[in-house]
Structure 1
Amino acid sequence: MHFRKLALAAAIGGLLSACAQTSNPTVTQDQVVEHYADIAQAVYGDALTSAQQLDKAIAALLASPSEQTLADARTAWLAARVPYQQSEVFRFGNPVVDDWEGQLNAWPLDEGLIDYVAPGYQHELGNAGATANIIANSHLQVGGEKLDVTNITPELLAGLNELAGSEANVATGYHAIEFLLWGQDLNDTHSGAGERPWTDFALGEACTHGHCDRRRDYLQAASRLLVQDLQYMAGQWQPGQNNYRTELTALPAEEGLRRMLFGMGSLSLGELAGERMKVALVANSVEDEHDCFSDNTHHSHYYNEKGISNLMFGEYQRIDGSTLQGPSLLQLVAQQDDQAAAQIGEQFRESEQAVYRLVQSAEVNNVHFDQLIAADNPQGNQLVTDAISALVEQTRAIELAANTLGINNLNPDTADHEF
């Protein structure tokens, strides 16, 4: 599939990129911040385009439900994750992104809020919405709250996030759509993803598990909301408008660099190494796996890492295959300290390869992230541990870049993890 080819191409590109970065003409801090915004514009533009393609694939599924149209919608979802995961590096340090992100990528979620679940489903303790099943009910009684959910619209779903105060009540975004396309992954730490039948979206007698009309409405509404949300964020990075980009680039360049480096370090350390890898590994918990329904977690992790690398090297491979390249952080560092730049570039190559080995495990050996974290898989555990260690070292390299540029006390977010 196209997104797998992108992964391989991106991994190879990452190995080559640092060599080209330090030989370019002198760059300024302002130019690096401006190119940071250019990359954000391109990444969110691609995320929007791929979400629109996903929306079309979902429309085709609902127009003519079949095994093939469901498979096509799943493929479109996987492709949509490629640019979006590379966008998460803009989240930390940029309030406009961080305040908005939860509606698109919150996880893990209690599936029982949305649809039917298998017997013995383990939901978050104390979550009053964990068995609400919006698809099966036109009215919900959650604690002391009575809700009319007769008409499933994007606005309704947005209002149901964190219902009854629980972060596990995720009604929207990529993972709600993922659950609807794949269903629960009931394989625990064994091979296999979710196996929702296409007949869950059929009308009339062919409908399985009931309420197919509402399931169709839910999937369509969630997809439309995803597109709307990405249209908003893509607009925030367009040049020459009264938006966040204008606000960011009007700040002193040092502040722009601080936000950039803080975002890189926080995604590398607290979020990717901590929340997305360490939590699942320590608990051997598939419930804490990121793309748990589709078994796409290896790509999700890799493209998070690629997003961090994009900013260090000042380049981004677009979904059309073209490459956006410009003034980079590594060039700025090299202008101050060649040795530090070489050390940083080498660590980034090593870290990217360490995370890419999770992709190779899944694609070559068919051993996915949920199998790697199993308690009885010491080799798999070590592969994930090595990736975590590489991300910790990468964060040190980011801090070295910051210090070299005179940006001290960066303090990237650890998400309360110790490494």
Structure 2
Amino acid sequence: MKALKMMFAAFAFAGATAQAATNQEIINHVSYNVILATYNDLASQTANLKTAVDALAANPTQENLNNAQAAWRAARVPWESSESFLFGPVDSLGIDPMLDTWPLNKLDLDNVLKSNRAITTDFVRALGTNLQGFHTIEYLLFGDGTSANTKPVSALTGKQFEYLKATSALLAEHAATLAYTWSTNYDPENPSAPGYVKVISKPGFDNQFYTSDRAVMEEFVQGMMGIVDEVANGKMSDPMGADIGSANMALVESPFAWNSLNDFTNNIRSVYSIYTGHYRTTKGPGVKALVERVNPALAAQVEQDILNCMQLIQAIRPANGGDFGQAIFTPDGRARTQKAIDALNALHGVLESEVLPTLDM
């Protein structure tokens, strides 16, 4: 908890150093140093995950399983930290579902694992998106998600190693493609198309996607609003249900690794990055700089609201172990969850009613 408070304090300090900037300066910084940087990190971390899975398959030790689990968690960070900007190629090329479809089709996956089929990357590529990606790998690497989030390496079978290798290779391939579409070419059917980072960072009348800097800034704000709403009213509310009796573990994302709360926190961290322009150790102007020109008090308050939402999400974690999937089956955990949902909905309201209108001021 002490480390968490220090992390949030660091975020708050970073936010306080934001400087006024033009819309174009905001757009350039966010496009290159937040969005593109995040996708580059995703490509790097998924490549590391593939390497860790290959090492595990070649030498199935508990240490190597632990390493592969850690690599999965590390790769999850940049992906979940990208969800306030799920526009551009990640959407138009259908990369999002190939990386992160949930719920996992466990029934069909188990049937494939029982079959005599050769498990290759191309074989997995041809299957549905709910039989590949992060959550397929999670299901194979971690525990059942109900009573434990880990397993002995002896529980893994030869067929599961085949599937892990194929799926992690495909995940790394898709992540590399996503980074490439932003850095180099956003349209595989048009070799002369630039990287999407150039498209979004150069709005104008000759830009078919963004005719003005306002259009880009609106894309940023709408992306922030979208993930805030999804975390509150989808990722958290749907599994929680109306009462304990209707709570549904099958709807919890990242349940096997007990990583849901980290996922949700990183989702809101992506909002923080777009808003402040700060990603990892890189600092620069974000949407906050625009809001500051109109209403400095509002600009500061929104940043604190974002940080508060992240803290409230982490506070859902049960004191006696477990994660979101365990918290929603207890009265106290549900109360903490509802508090986070209420804060997220309040943040969404402020983004919609107060931040979005600053684009026209």
From 316, 322, 327, give the equivalent of 2:279.
316
1:112 is displaced (CA, Å) by: 1.8
CA contact (8 A) 1:347 1:397 kept: no
TM-score by length of 2: 0.87
> In 2 relative to 1, CA 185–341 (structure 1 residues): closer, same or farther, beyond 3 Å?
closer
Give me the whole-angstrom Cα distance separating, in 1, the residues matched to 2:182 and 2:2.
Answer: 28
Deviation at 1:264, TM superposition (A): 0.7
Distance 1:342 1:77 in 2: 34
Question: Deviation per CA, 1:379-411, whole angstroms, max 9, x where unpaired?
Answer: 11011101111111111222221111229xxxx
CA contact (8 A) 1:37 1:237 kept: no
State whether structure 2 residue 127 is matched by structure 1 residue 160: yes
SS in 2 for 1:315: coil
1:394 aligns with 2:347: yes
Asked whether 1:369 is paired with 2:342, we answer no
Aligned to 1:136: 114
In 2, the alpha carbon distance for the partners of 1:268 and 1:378 equals: 24
CA–CA separation in structure 2 for the residues paired with 1:373 and 1:27: 43
Matched, 1:255 2:222: no
Separation (CA, whole Å) in 2 of partners of 1:157 and 1:11: 40
Query: CA–CA distance in 1 between the matches of 2:300 and 2:264?
Result: 25
State the match for 1:12 in structure 2: 9
Post-superposition shift, 1:97? 1.4
- More helix per residue: 1 or 2? 2
Equivalent of 1:235 in 180, 185, 195: 180
Whole-angstrom distance in 2 between the partners of 1:66 and 1:345:
44
Distance 1:7 1:333 in 2: 27
Measured in 2, the distance between the counterparts of 1:338 and 1:70 equals 49
The answer for the alignment partner of 2:357 in structure 1 is 403
What is the SS of the residue equivalent to 1:324?
coil
C-alpha distance in 1 between matches for 2:184 and 2:339: 40
Indicate the residue corresponding to 1:74 in structure 2.
69
Alpha-carbon shift at residue 185 of structure 1 (Å): 2.8
Aligned-partner Cα distance in 1 for 2:100–2:259: 14
2:294 corresponds to 1:344: no
- The 5 Å alignment of 1:375-390 reads 377-390=330-343
- Aligned-pair CA distance for 1:290: 0.8
Q: What SS does structure 1 have at the residue aligned with 2:275?
A: helix
Structure 2 distance, partners of 1:351, 1:215, is 38
Give per-residue Cα distances to partners, 1:146-197, cap 9 Å, x unaligned.
Answer: xxxx3322222122115xxxxxxx111100000111253343xxxx3253x3
> Is the Cα contact below 8 Å between 1:14 and 1:352 reproduced in 2?
no
Take 2:3 and 2:283, find their aligned partners in 1: how far apart are those partners? 17
- Structure 2 residue aligned with 1:302: 265
Q: Structure 2: how far apart are the matches of 1:307 and 1:342?
A: 17
Q: Distance in 1 between matches of 2:295 and 2:253?
A: 38
Q: Mapping of 1:97-136 within 5 angstroms?
A: 97-98=90-91, 99-115=94-110, 133-136=111-114
- 1:63-118: per-residue Cα shift (whole Å, max 9, x none)? 11122211211111112111111011111xx1421231001011111212112xxx
Instruction: Please point out which of 159, 168, 172 is paired with 1:223.
Output: 168
2:52 paired with 1:57: yes
Letter in 2 for 1:357: A
Map of 1:37 onto structure 2: 31
Give the deviation of 1:305 after TM superposition: 1.1
Deviation at 1:41, TM superposition (A): 1.1
Aligned residue for 2:282, secondary structure, equals strand
Q: Which of 226, 238, 244 matches 1:266?
A: 226
CA distance in 2, matches of 1:216, 1:405: 51
Work out whether residues 354 and 386 of structure 1, in 8 Å CA contact, stay in contact via their aligned partners in 2: yes
Amino acid in the other structure paired with 1:344:
V
Task: Map 1:170-249 onto structure 2 (within 5 A).
Answer: 170-187=130-147, 192-195=148-151, 197-201=152-156, 212-238=157-183, 242-249=194-201
Query: For 1:193-220, what per-residue CA distance to the aligned partner results, in whole angstroms no more than 9, with x for missing partners?
Result: 253x31244xxxxxxxxxx333222110
Greater CA drift, 7-16 or 80-89: 7-16
> Aligned to 1:292, what secondary structure does the other structure show?
coil
One-letter amino acid matched to 1:272: V
- In the alignment, is the contact (CA less than 8 A) between 2:26 and 2:289 conserved in 1? no
Asked if 1:28 is matched to 2:22, the reply is yes
CA–CA separation in structure 1 for the residues paired with 2:357 and 2:77: 31
Instruction: Compute the displacement of 1:11 (Å).
Output: 2.6
Secondary structure in 2 aligned to 1:88? coil
Give the % identical residues. Answer: 25
Rounded Cα–Cα distance in structure 1 between residues aligned with 2:252 and 2:338: 15
Q: What is residue 189 of structure 2 aligned with on the other side?
A: none
Q: Give the corresponding residue for 1:279.
A: 238
Contact 1:182/1:293 (<8 A) preserved: yes
8 A contact 2:133–2:167 mirrored in 1: yes
Q: Which amino acid aligns with 1:227?
A: A
Distance 2:276 2:154 in 1: 46
Q: 1:367 to 1:151 in 2, by over 3 A?
A: closer
Separation of aligned partners in 2, 1:194 and 1:66: 14
Q: Which amino acid aligns with 2:309?
A: S
Q: Quote how far apart the aligned CAs of 1:54 are.
A: 1.1
TM-score (normalised: structure 1): 0.76
Query: RMSD of the TM alignment (CA)?
Result: 2.2
Do the aligned residues in 2 keep the contact of 1:86 with 1:303 (CA within 8 Å)? Answer: yes
CA–CA distance in structure 2, aligned partners of residues 267 and 218 of structure 1: 31
Alignment partners' CA distance in 2, 1:242 and 1:194 = 43
**Shift of residue 237 of structure 1?**
2.2
